[in-house]
Chains A and B, each alone.
Chain A
Amino acid sequence: MAIIERPAPGIIVPALPAGAPAITPTRTFGALKRPVASTGWKSWLFTVDHKKLGLMYGATAMFFFIVGGLEAVLIRLQLAAPEGKVLNADLYNQMFTMHATTMVFLFVMPMAAGFANYFVPLQIGARDVAFPRINAFGFWCFLAGGIVINLAWFLGGAADGGWFMYAPNSGPVFSPSKGVDFWTLGLQIAGIASLTGAINLIVTVLNMRAPGMSLMKMPVFTWLITVVQFLLLFAIPVITVALFLLTFQRSFGAQFFDVAAGADPLLWQHLFWIFGHPEVYVLILPSFGIVSEVLPVFSRKPLFGYPFVVFSGAAIGFVGWGVWAHHMFASGLGPVSVAVFSVATMAIAVPTGVKIINWTLTMWGGKLVFSTAMKFSVGLIVLFTIGGLSGVTHSVAPSDTQQTDTYYIVAHFHYVLFGGAIFGLFSGFYYWWPKMFGKMLNERLGSWNFWFMVIGMNLTFGPMHILGLQGQPRRMYQWTEARAGEGFFNIAFWNLVASIGSLVLTFGILLFLINIAITARSKVRAPLDPWNARSLEWMTSSPPKEHNFDSIPHVHHLDEFFHRKYEEDPVTHTMREVATAEQILAELERNADAHIHMPSPSYWPLVLAAGLPIVALGILYSIPVAIVGGLVILYAIYGWSLEPSVAADSDYEGPSSNGHEVGATHG
């Protein structure tokens, strides 16, 4: 907000100080006036506040999670019994393609982006991100991309080439509907969100840390998010190229994947997996970060081997660039390539193993508190390890030729993605909910939520190992009784088990949604520091004030908040409490900065992002429409570049004489 925040005592965001002069929105040169609403829907639509945007990412991603989940249930219903009739072959193809696309690009990635947006600035003691308007733009791009991808359902059928969309299979011959076109253009738009978000968060982490917060004092979550942003920074342009080539082929007749004209069918596969393997770390590392926050808090111990966790995270980020072709072992790469990539892939299990060891040793000898957040974190360690082990079995190329394109692969990536990424996100929900909303999610319901999800997930994906090794191919829309086999390993039985499991899993997730609803209605406010937490984001009110910190804390320790609460007793060498969270917060409030300039809301991010889907639809239906979209984009860039990111001084109260100004940001 472009208003002065007068830090007022109390937990709730202070209202405008009484008697403040009316705000006069600046008129930017030749364009719209600045929005000034600080409440109501406008305050969300035009916001540049990292916390609001974080919640918007989260809520939108949650919606897509439900969509993707329903698609998954339809797939499992189809495969529950022989000769399933729920979906026809064509719809089945669309269903698994859109399920995976939705889960990867529209749920896990944006949900992690939401957490990153909300908590990275808080964890490093900043008042916002480096480029708040670009941050807002990113969110709207993600939303626009998600809508474009899903619009295809209503306009002739969704994409149907599988989430990796192998060309030439995804060319017009085999995918005649416009689904793939919506998919490429939608991902392109969503990719802008990832790229701009990456630049934004990296600059934020490098440049906006509180005094004293050196890189090696940053919380692990912030660290791993930073690694993820570097992966995105360098991986997104690769898929951008691939998507452009495919769009040019499908919409403008280019020949890139036309094998008859001499094209190489592996070109797409390389481009996709150069992006794709770093992408799997984009999906898992945020959850690794969350777990690394949750485990120490609920073990009442600092994280074991902090530098190892950080460096192994960076190592994963680095080695992850050299293994992509393990997705192509069966494609005829040639023996040298296969050998090289096989060995590199085995190597990447090492830094991953380091993390598992560190987490285990964090819990070792700790006073474990099995809150729901903790349960999900422990669940992640166990389930992810199973997935990692099956991953190592694929890294051995000869055995992978047996496994590839079977349900065994489906089992692997669901253990790492569901058991890993999603369990981590759920751990984050339960851990950070009181910070974001000032209320605790119900722990009892949370426990049921957890157990249904664990049981459901193992019932669903465990049997897929067997199905795969028995030879059930991936992406097969029906199986027949005649070929189901006999005995303990007959696929009829295990398919049924997996389908029942998916319903159990769905019920577990439903419990979570119910929990949200119950919590929203409850009047009980969460204590300020419900978990006895360790890092800076807890050194704010719940939810945090618009400017996060009344005064920017000076950081002396990793786990700064913990060290303000506890000191080591020189005699007994035990930690004893020296201050409560309330006292620490009151102290920050007493030293409040007198003059805080926050970045101002803006129309332009929304207008700019709105131009993109218009261009996309124009490319598919009529070029003049694309030109209109282009004009919208130009207009928005014009307005944006003339609008100072922090409103003019006339938007503020008169200058104060004593306080220092903080927080001016670009954008």
Chain B
Amino acid sequence: MSTRGYIVIALILAAITALEVSTYYVDFGPLFLPSLLIMMVIKFVMVVSYFMHLKFDNKLFSWLFYTGLFLAVGVYITALATFQFFLR
């Protein structure tokens, strides 16, 4: 990727962050939680794909990393669920 490309990505990330912070000031209503989570995931994936080059690199790297990531999400969400975390 070119320097320009990186700067564009960074600008998008900055814009999303601004949007995230705005949820603190503006009432998003029922969209509050889902929109925050979606923005978080977008930022995460963008950094991983572009800044960490995972999108352009060998697929094996993606496999190794995302295995860890999804395993973590899976076991910890399950564990929190047994604490009735999501029902509170």
Interface set of A (CB-CB < 8 Å, partner B): 206, 233-234, 238, 264, 266, 270, 274, 321-322, 324-325, 333-334, 337
Contact = CB atoms under 8 A, between A and B. Distances in A.
A238 B75 CA distance: 10
A333 B82 contact: yes
Interface string B50-88: 000000000010000001100110110011011110000
Which applies to chain B's interface (DSSP): helix, strand, loop or mixed?
helix
27 contacts: A206-B60, A233-B68, A234-B67, A234-B68, A234-B71, A234-B72, A238-B75, A264-B83, A266-B82, A266-B83, A270-B79, A270-B82, A274-B75, A274-B79, A321-B71, A321-B74, A321-B75, A322-B74, A322-B75, A322-B78, A324-B75, A325-B82, A333-B82, A334-B82, A334-B84, A337-B81, A337-B82
B70 to A, nearest CB: 10
Given A233-B68, A321-B74, A333-B82, 20 more contacts: A206-B60, A234-B68, A234-B71, A234-B72, A238-B75, A264-B83, A266-B82, A266-B83, A270-B79, A270-B82, A274-B79, A321-B71, A321-B75, A322-B74, A322-B78, A325-B82, A334-B82, A334-B84, A337-B81, A337-B82
Contacts of B84: 334
A407 B71 CA distance: 33
A324 B83 CA distance: 15
A232 to B, nearest CB: 12
Contact residue range for chain B? 10 to 19
Contacts of B78: 322
Contacts of B60: 206
A309 to B, nearest CB: 22
A264 B83 CA distance: 9
A229 B71 CA distance: 15
A206 B58 CA distance: 13
Contacts of A270: 79, 82
A549 B78 CA distance: 48
Please provide the 7 A-B residue pairs with the shortest distance between their CB atoms, ordered closest to farther.
A337-B82, A270-B79, A274-B75, A234-B71, A333-B82, A234-B68, A321-B75
A200 to B, nearest CB: 14
Nearest to A267: B83
A305 B10 CA distance: 52
A237 to B, nearest CB: 9
A244 to B, nearest CB: 16
B61 to A, nearest CB: 11
Contacts of A321: 71, 74-75
Nearest to A334: B82
A334 B78 CA distance: 13
Contacts of B67: 234
A391 to B, nearest CB: 21
A355 B48 CA distance: 39
Contacts of A324: 75
A332 to B, nearest CB: 10
Contacts of B71: 234, 321
Contacts of A325: 82
B60 to A, nearest CB: 8
Contacts of A234: 67-68, 71-72
A387 B44 CA distance: 45
A238 B79 CA distance: 12
Nearest to B74: A321
A270 B77 CA distance: 12
Nearest to B76: A274
A536 to B, nearest CB: 24
Nearest to A274: B75
A377 to B, nearest CB: 32
A324 B84 CA distance: 17
